[in-house]
Amino acid sequence: MLRSLFAAAVTAVLAAGGAAAQDFPTRPITMVIPFPAGGSTDLVGRLIAERMTAELGQPVVVENKGGAGGNLGAAQVAKASPDGYTILMGTVATHALNPALYKKMPYDPVKSFAPVSLLAIVPNVLVVNPEFPAKTTEELIALLKANPGKYSYASSGNGTPLHLSGELFKSLAGVDMQHIPYQGAGPALIDVISGQVPIMFDNLPSSSGHIKSGKLRALGVTTAKRAPSFPDLPAIAEVVPGYETYTWNALFAPAGTPPEVVAKLNAAANKALTDPKVQARFNDFSATPVGSTPEELGEHVKKEIAKWAPIVKATGAQLD
């Protein structure tokens, strides 16, 4: 009798859970962006959140939670209820770089999340204050070699793709400059534009408007080839052979989120990427829309971890 009652109770709970997943979403969804407002992850996240809101019929509300190179925001989502109402705009930093950089991680990049969809590939860019004497990557390298340790560069934080872009540049170009970490690309850009720090590695989306307006001077993109939106801007690799970095954005839910919920989030995210307005905005800052299945994103994360671990080790970068 007791066994029958227990089985009936379990069946009822499972049925209720299935119904909840089928009705998802019935209330607002929080998209955690693990960096402050103003950077490329924030730009991509807000574009996708707005379009997903239309698709899902419930608000997708952006919450910026920066700190620890993206670890704080990612950990918040990893520990959230696996019901689909808290999702993460993950990046190469949160899921590939940080596991190699930090001695202790507050989450597992593979086991703590349910992959939803790979959204975009984003180039980085080397920029300087317009008053800075170097007008090309060649001139910058010459200036840095003539003045080792004199100049500094800003990034969105310790261990971020932008930090590693700078460290890889130093290593391959044979130059020395000081790293100034900020709590996100937005605050770093303010200081570079004002001249407090002369050099920065940034995501192209967050710098593109400032480059076009003349508030920043771009020296080169970090991808192996030139960016379509800035065809006259050389790739750093044209001057420093072998140099290549970039970032990506992807959507994740907490591990254990029901497959039906993941499927609805995946469909909404991938539909957002087909919107002409989203594609046009992505094109403005040279972000390439991707889209994927959850399984494809899961494989992408594993490949990125394997790719970046030796690069991080070669730079000698390590964070507590």
CB neighbour list of residue 270: distance below 8 Å, 6 or more residues apart: 117, 291, 292
Residue 312 has pLDDT above 80, yes or no: yes
Q: Matching CATH topology for 2-120+248-315 and 123-238?
A: yes
> Cα(131)–Cα(166) distance, rounded to whole angstroms?
20
**Average pLDDT, integer, range 209-221:** 96
Residue 105 has pLDDT above 90, yes or no: yes
Is there a contact between 243 and 125 (Cβ–Cβ < 8 Å)? Answer: no
Confidence of residue 303 (pLDDT cuts 50, 70, 90): very high
Residues facing residue 60 across a β-bridge: 29
Residue 14 has pLDDT above 80, yes or no: no
pLDDT of residue 19: 54
pLDDT digits 0-9 by tens, 40-96: 899 899 999 999 999 999 999 999 999 888 999 999 999 999 999 999 999 999 999
279 burial via Cβ count (<10 Å: 0-12, 13-18, 19+): middle
Q: Could you give the 3-state DSSP secondary structure of residue 35?
A: coil
Domain spans of the chain? Answer: 2-120+248-315, 123-238
What is the token pair recorded at 262? 């993941």
pLDDT digits 0-9 by tens, 244-258: 888 899 999 999 999
Is there a contact between 216 and 223 (Cβ–Cβ < 8 Å)? Answer: no
**Average pLDDT, integer, range 171-185:** 92
pLDDT digits 0-9 by tens, 163-175: 889 988 999 999 9
Average pLDDT over the chain, rounded to an integer: 91
Taking phi over 0 as left and psi of -120 to 50 as alpha, with beta for the rest, 142 belongs to alpha
pLDDT digits 0-9 by tens, 259-280: 999 999 999 999 999 999 999 9
Is there a contact between 263 and 250 (Cβ–Cβ < 8 Å)? Answer: no
pTM, full prediction: 0.78
> Cα(251)–Cα(274) distance, rounded to whole angstroms?
16
pLDDT of residue 13: 42
The domain 123-238 is classified under which CATH number: 3.40.640.10, 3.40.50.300, 3.40.50.720, 3.40.190.10?
A: 3.40.190.10
Give the architecture (CATH level 2) of 2-120+248-315: 3-Layer(aba) Sandwich (3.40)
pLDDT digits 0-9 by tens, 111-163: 999 999 999 988 999 999 999 999 999 999 999 999 999 999 999 887 778 88
